């Protein structure tokens, strides 16, 4: 029987859960957020059991997020400088579970360090891929390059060039919706887990997309993006803490959730 979903938790710029003793720590640096709108029914079959697409004004989104991972650490141990630091590009969707917890779902994560890729695939069942990658910054221009080695489709690639603009004093409701995500939904051994995270409020900047040549979205089983992105943002980054995972109630909520926010960001 379909689960009757609760009202989704609010979209907030600050973390909705405090994480005291972290399972993992890391920093995400020099991030490019590129998003396209997509119909919820096009991506719903790709989400883990017990979740549905999280939507904003009737549509959901696919995100291509490129950045530098920095110093992954376990528990309270110091972050690892070499193996724990590398470029990464992920393709992600937006989900909400029957308890109203909003999250992201990763369809692919390309990274340039083989050992972290192998550990993440084995321990967390995350779809990490080993790729040749680089992040280069020259003034206000940042170039992100990725070419997949294995597994997955060989030749899957991404090249993003963005120009960083002014800092955003107050992000819009959509910009909060796309960036302020305080958890991860992931299928492990036939069950869906929710992994919470927390970090300081994002410092966000407007960005212009000067070049976008990518095949990662289609390689992740998603429709090819059509038209211009609905949002292109940059952030210098934040330190991040992940807490312990919890089980998501089995089954699929009957309907996709709305954000609960109007276009002006006010509660509805």
pLDDT digits 0-9 by tens, 118-152: 888 887 899 999 999 999 999 999 999 999 998 87
Q: Identify which has the larger pLDDT, 23 or 152.
A: 23
Q: Give a three-class secondary structure readout of the chain.
A: CCECCCCCCCCCCCCCCCCCCCCEEEEEEEEEEEEEEECHHHHHHHCCCCEEEECECCEEEEEEEEEEEEEEEECCCCCCCCCCCEEEEEEEEEEEECCCCEEEEEEEEEECCHHHHHHHHHHHCCCEEEEEEEEEEECCEEEEEEEEEECCCCCCEEEEEEEEEEECCCCCHHHHHHHCCCEEEEEECCEEEEEEEECCCCCCEEEEEEEEEECHHHHCCCCCCCCCCCEEEEEEEEEEEECCCEECCCCCECCCECCCECCCCCEC
Q: Identify which has the larger pLDDT, 213 or 1.
A: 213
Per-residue model confidence (pLDDT) at position 77: 67
Instruction: pLDDT band for 107, please (50, 70, 90 cuts).
Output: very high
Q: Domain 24-245, what fold?
A: Acetoacetate decarboxylase-like (2.40.400)
85 — phi, psi (to 5°)? -130, 125
Q: Round the average pLDDT of the chain to a whole number and report it.
A: 89
pLDDT digits 0-9 by tens, 66-83: 999 998 887 776 666 656
- Tell me the average pLDDT across 50-62: 96
Comparing 13-22, 52-61, 68-77, 83-92, which segment has the lowest mean pLDDT?
Answer: 68-77
Instruction: pLDDT band for 249, please (50, 70, 90 cuts).
Output: confident
- Tell me the average pLDDT across 174-199: 96
Q: Is the pLDDT of residue 95 over 50?
A: yes
Q: What angle do CA 42, 146, 43 make, to 5 degrees?
A: 10
- b/e sequence 249-266, b meaning 16+ C-beta within 10 Å: eeebbeebbebebeeebe
pLDDT digits 0-9 by tens, 187-230: 998 899 999 999 999 999 999 999 999 999 999 999 999 889 99
Per-residue model confidence (pLDDT) at position 153: 75
Q: Where are the domains of the chain?
A: 24-245
Instruction: pLDDT band for 265, please (50, 70, 90 cuts).
Output: very low
Q: Identify which has the larger pLDDT, 21 or 107.
A: 107
- Tell me the average pLDDT across 19-44: 95
């Amino acid at each position: 029987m379909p689960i009757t979903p609760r009202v989704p938790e609010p979209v907030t710029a600050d973390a909705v859960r405090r994480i005291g003793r972290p399972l993992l720590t890391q920093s995400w640096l020099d991030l490019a957020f590129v998003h396209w709108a997509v119909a919820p029914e096009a991506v719903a079959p790709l989400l883990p059991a017990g979740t549905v697409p999280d939507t904003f004004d009737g549509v959901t989104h696919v995100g291509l997020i490129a950045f530098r991972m920095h110093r992954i650490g376990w528990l309270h141990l110091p972050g690892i400088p070499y193996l724990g630091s590398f470029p990464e590009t992920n393709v992600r969707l937006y989900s909400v579970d029957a308890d109203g917890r909003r999250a992201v779902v990763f369809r692919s994560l390309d990274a340039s360090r083989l050992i972290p890729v192998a550990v993440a695939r084995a321990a967390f069942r995350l779809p990490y891929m080993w790729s040749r990658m680089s992040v280069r910054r020259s003034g206000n221009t940042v170039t992100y390059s990725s070419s997949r080695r294995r597994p997955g489709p060989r030749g899957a690639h991404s090249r993003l060039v963005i120009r960083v603009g002014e800092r955003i004093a107050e992000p819009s409701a959509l910009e909060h919706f796309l960036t302020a995500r305080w958890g991860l939904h992931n299928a492990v051994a036939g069950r869906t887990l929710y992994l919470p995270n927390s970090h300081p409020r994002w410092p966000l900047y407007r960005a212009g997309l000067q070049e976008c040549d990518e095949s990662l979205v289609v390689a992740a089983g998603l429709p090819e993006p059509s038209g211009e992105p609905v949002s292109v943002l940059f952030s210098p980054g934040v330190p991040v803490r992940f807490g312990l995972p919890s089980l998501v109630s089995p089954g699929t909520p009957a309907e996709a959730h709305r954000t609960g926010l109007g276009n002006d960001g006010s509660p509805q």
